[in-house]
A and B are shown apart, each in its own frame.
Chain A
Amino acid sequence: MGEQAFEFGLIGVYFMKLLPTLRLTLLIVVGSIAVGLIAGTLAALPRLYRVPILQRVSQVYVSFFRGTPILIQLFLFYYGLPELVEPLGLDLSRTPALAFVVLAYGLHSGAFISEAIRAAVTAVDRGQVEAAYAVGMSGPQALRRIVLPQALVIAVPVLGNLVIANLKDTSLAFTLGVMELTGKAQTLGLLAQHFLEAYLSLAALYFIISWGLERLFLWWERSLLRKQGVAALPRLGRLGRQALMRRFAQEARLGREGASG
């Protein structure tokens, strides 16, 4: 049985068949980002506050998840974790693969999220904190009222990239037998021997979700900036700086119009 001739119409059919599976993929994304936000915050704190031993632990955690392929991490969690906890009297053999997937992706994202949090908080000008202290605020008050709102604006675009990367990474979950989008597409392609059509509709679906997420985060960033009077942002990466220059140019234009009007 060889591969069938290309049928354009099948793309739409597969697309519709894939849609119900989207729920599972999004569940993995939402679940792992939630785990990642918690893990990322916990990992960022000791490094921001330079807590002696925990700082090291957090560094090792981040290095491990950044330095090894996500596929290997999935295998390690799925096959390794049950072995690891067995001596402790915990039986994970009945735990659904989905739980391992969410945990692995969550900790993976957490490593990157912790770096994003750390970078954003450190990027807030030291003078802002000093001004907060000078008016009499305590450390936590300064963090909550002055530093975090400014750090959030810096972190949102990075966070957006991480969520999109996470979405695409979930395409590996089928290797553990979780029937998310990619797994479903493969099955569909296999059944009718129309792989290309299946993968095209799969690509379209990922692209649409990614694009939607991109717009969503852009909108979030803009609305934060608007609320903060297009505050100037310090120290960003190259892409961030380019975006910033565009924004400054726009701001300058608005300023001129305001001045002449």
Chain B
Amino acid sequence: MIKLSGIRKKYGHHEVLQGIDATVQKGEVVAILGPSGSGKTTLLRCVNFLERPNEGELTIGDFTIQCKRARKQDIYTLRRKTAMVFQQYNLFRHKTALENVMEGLLVVQKMPRDQARERSAQLLDKVGLGKKLDAYPSALSGGQQQRVGIARALAGNPEVILFDEPTSALDPELVGEVLAVIRTIAREGITMMIVTHEMSFAQDVATQVLFMDEGVVVERGTPREMFSDPKEERTRRFLKRIAPEPIYHI
């Protein structure tokens, strides 16, 4: 289980996150929606301390961290329990697909090389790149790179995978292959938090939807509640703008 309580983040005088609470059960897929500048990416980056929250408490599994008093060692522990898939993929440029997936296993988990290689090859096979093990990122398409990114995230057996707009940098025709992979691993019960603009995907895969605006969670609920019958005016306006066609549930 993941629990965020009272997460606050300030840049100078501007408070980007104004006390966020959220609970994510094991196996849940949480979609975080909202206009740009609403703080959704910052929130995601606070969960693995790529951004350090100024206040609040973070629980992942059996590990709780007080954001204000977090020490280096706490942050490393936290990061070992999470993984992230980036908008720009951020694959290690000087390493092959296989090495990208192996890197964390070797360096962080100190797994023996043979074992790490075997596990990484399996994961790459799972995301449909079993034939691209030795390819460098520069030789892969955006969709392929992002799938390597997902395999890399899966490698450390994290309690949660954080997806930061995983398809936003992709050519439209490559979005499908990445979403398909995310959907597959979602079905396997891996806990996920996804910041996305893919509304139909969120509706389809998410178990919980958070709508954020100006640093607060404006509304939350199941995809059904949120997409067909949003309570808040702000949510309604946003969904209208993003998906002009009304989405009906019968």
* Chain A contacts with B in 114-162, Cβ cutoff 8 A: 125, 127-128, 130-138, 141, 145-146, 149-150, 153
**B94 contacts which of A131, A231, A251 (Cβ < 8 Å)?**
A231
- Binding-face segment, B22-30, B136-144, B214-222: B136-144
Asked if B88 lies at the interface with its beta carbon under 8 angstroms from chain A, I say: yes
Q: Which residues of B contact A255 (CB under 8 A)?
A: 139
CB proximity of B51 to chain A, nearest CB, Å: 10
Interface size class of A (residues with CB under 8 A): 20 to 34
**In the bound complex, CA of A230 to CA of B140 (Å):** 12
Most chain B C-beta atoms within 10 Å of own C-beta, residue among A133, A251, A255: A133
Interface of A is mostly: helix
B80, A146: Cβ atoms under 8 Å? no
**In the bound complex, CA of A227 to CA of B93 (Å):** 11
CB proximity of A126 to chain B, nearest CB, Å: 9
- Binding-face segment, B103-111, B114-122, B198-206: B103-111
Asked if A9 lies at the interface with its beta carbon under 8 angstroms from chain B, I say: no
Query: Quick one: given A130-B50, A131-B92, A229-B96, are A145 and B83 in contact (CB under 8 Å)?
Result: no
B92, A146: Cβ atoms under 8 Å? yes
A127, B90: Cβ atoms under 8 Å? yes
**A138 contacts which of B76, B83, B84, B88 (Cβ < 8 Å)?**
B76
B138, A232: Cβ atoms under 8 Å? yes
Asked if B208 lies at the interface with its beta carbon under 8 angstroms from chain A, I say: no
A136, B92: Cβ atoms under 8 Å? no
CB proximity of B23 to chain A, nearest CB, Å: 23
Interface size class of B (residues with CB under 8 A): 20 to 34
Q: Which residues of A contact B138 (CB under 8 A)?
A: 229-232, 251
Most chain A C-beta atoms within 10 Å of own C-beta, residue among B86, B93, B152: B93
Most chain B C-beta atoms within 10 Å of own C-beta, residue among A131, A231, A232: A131
A136, B139: Cβ atoms under 8 Å? no
How many contacts between A and B, using CB within 8 angstroms? Answer: 83
Asked if B183 lies at the interface with its beta carbon under 8 angstroms from chain A, I say: no
CB proximity of A132 to chain B, nearest CB, Å: 8
**B86 contacts which of A127, A146, A153 (Cβ < 8 Å)?**
A127
**In the bound complex, CA of A145 to CA of B95 (Å):** 10
Kindly supply a per-residue 1/0 record for chain A positions 87-129, scoring 1 wherever the CB is within 8 Å of any chain B CB and 0 otherwise.
0000000000000000000000000000000000000010110
A229, B94: Cβ atoms under 8 Å? yes
Asked if B209 lies at the interface with its beta carbon under 8 angstroms from chain A, I say: no
B107, A145: Cβ atoms under 8 Å? yes
A135, B76: Cβ atoms under 8 Å? no
**In the bound complex, CA of A227 to CA of B72 (Å):** 33
Asked if B234 lies at the interface with its beta carbon under 8 angstroms from chain A, I say: no
Asked if A242 lies at the interface with its beta carbon under 8 angstroms from chain B, I say: no
Asked if B91 lies at the interface with its beta carbon under 8 angstroms from chain A, I say: yes
B90, A128: Cβ atoms under 8 Å? yes
A149, B79: Cβ atoms under 8 Å? no
CB proximity of B157 to chain A, nearest CB, Å: 11
B90, A136: Cβ atoms under 8 Å? no
Closest to A232 in B: B138
**In the bound complex, CA of A145 to CA of B82 (Å):** 20
Asked if A228 lies at the interface with its beta carbon under 8 angstroms from chain B, I say: yes
Most chain A C-beta atoms within 10 Å of own C-beta, residue among B79, B91, B94, B135: B94
Closest to B108 in A: A136
B48, A134: Cβ atoms under 8 Å? yes
Q: Which residues of A contact B156 (CB under 8 A)?
A: 135-136
Q: Which residues of A contact B83 (CB under 8 A)?
A: 134-135
Closest to A152 in B: B94
Closest to B73 in A: A138
Q: List 15 A-B contacts (CB under 8 A).
A: A130-B84, A130-B86, A131-B84, A131-B90, A131-B91, A133-B79, A134-B50, A134-B83, A135-B79, A135-B83, A135-B156, A138-B72, A146-B92, A229-B94, A231-B93
8 residue pairs, one from A and one from B, having the closest CB atoms: A229-B136, A135-B104, A228-B94, A131-B90, A136-B108, A127-B90, A231-B93, A134-B84
